Amino acid sequence: MRSKFFPFILILIFIIIFLFFYKGLSNYNIYTPNINVEKDIPLFSANLFESNVEVNSKEFFDPKKLYLLNIWSSWCVPCRDEHALLMDLSKNKNITLIGLNYKDRPDNAKNFLNELGNPYSQILVDETGTKAIEWGAFGVPETFLIYKNKVIKKYIGPLNQQLLVEIKSLIK
């Protein structure tokens, strides 16, 4: 009696496993970024890189504009890689690039920008690394797309050509 149903039960189990795997496939899975999507930007205050003026995040981000916040550091090798892409992106008028300088020395950061160019319209300073934590960043570089005071997209690790195309299509 048991053996008659057994194959069907087995097949059923495998179908369920199949469905799980199938579902799992559609989850985008490189170091799991999309969790923070559509989340409000964190409240924090930070100093500006050049003027050392303290700004508040709620006043700093204009809800009508599209922002790209990039966490970077002069000691971070992948940041160097993605820098050219950021420079390219900074030519685009529809998006404002904000840098968050992470655990860096001001001199090194300045040298870095002098050498490779400055794509950011404003740079915030995060000397202790606490602001990056507020943003929910795991490391450098990380990039956030912000619109209406919400994080609409988050990229962990250096940007590449493919992601740049994606960002550009989002801007439109």
Partner 1 sequence: MLSSTIGYYSLILGLCSSIIIFYFSIINYQDKILDTKILSFTFLQLFFVIISFLSLVLSFINSDFSNETVFNNSHTTKPLFYKISGTWGNHEGSLLLWQLVLTLFIFIFLLKSDNQSKQYRILTLLFQEIIIIGFFIFIIKTSNPFNYIYPIPKQGLGLNPILQDPALAIHPPILYVGYVGSSIIFSSVLAATILNIISREWASHIKKWVLVSWIFLSLGILFGSIWAYYELGWGGFWFWDPVENVSLMPWLALTALLHCIIVLEKKIVLTSWVVILSITTFTLSMCGTFLVRSGILNSVHSFANDPERGLYILIFLFSLIFLSIFIYFFFHKQNIKNNNNFFWLSKETSILINNWFMMYFLSVVLIGTIYPIFLEVISSQKISVGPPFYHKLIIPFLFPFLLAMAIGPNLKWVKSNMENKVNLILFFVLSIFVSGFVLKNLDQKFLINTVLLSSAFYLFFITIRDLFTKNFKNFSQNVAHFGFSLLILSILLNNFFSSEIIINLKVGESFENNKTKIIFNDIVQNKQKNYVSIIGNFTVENFDGKIDNLKPELRIYNQPNIITSEADIKTSFLSDKFMVMNSVQNQEYFNIRYQVKPFMIWIWISVVLICFGGLISFFKKKNEK
| Residue 23 binds to partner 1 (criterion: CB under 8 A) | yes
Please give the residues from 31 up to 70 whose contact with partner 1 meets the rule CB under 8 A: 31-32
Nearer to partner 1, 77 or 165 (CB): 77
| Residue 93 binds to partner 1 (criterion: CB under 8 A) | no
| Residue 29 binds to partner 1 (criterion: CB under 8 A) | yes
Give the residue from 99, 146, 153, 155 showing the smallest Cα distance to 126: 99
Q: Indicate which single residue of 1, 2, 24, 114 sits in contact with partner 1 (rule: CB under 8 A).
A: 24
| Residue 110 binds to partner 1 (criterion: CB under 8 A) | no
Nearer to partner 1, 130 or 149 (CB): 130
Q: How far apart are CA 72 and CA 15, in angstroms?
A: 46
Q: For the CB of residue 157, give the shortest distance to partner 1 in the complex, in Å.
A: 12
| Residue 26 binds to partner 1 (criterion: CB under 8 A) | yes
Q: Indicate which single residue of 37, 40, 105, 138 sits in contact with partner 1 (rule: CB under 8 A).
A: 105
| Residue 133 binds to partner 1 (criterion: CB under 8 A) | no
Residues in contact with partner 1 by CB under 8 A are 6-7, 10-11, 14, 18, 20-32, 75, 77-78, 80-81, 103, 105
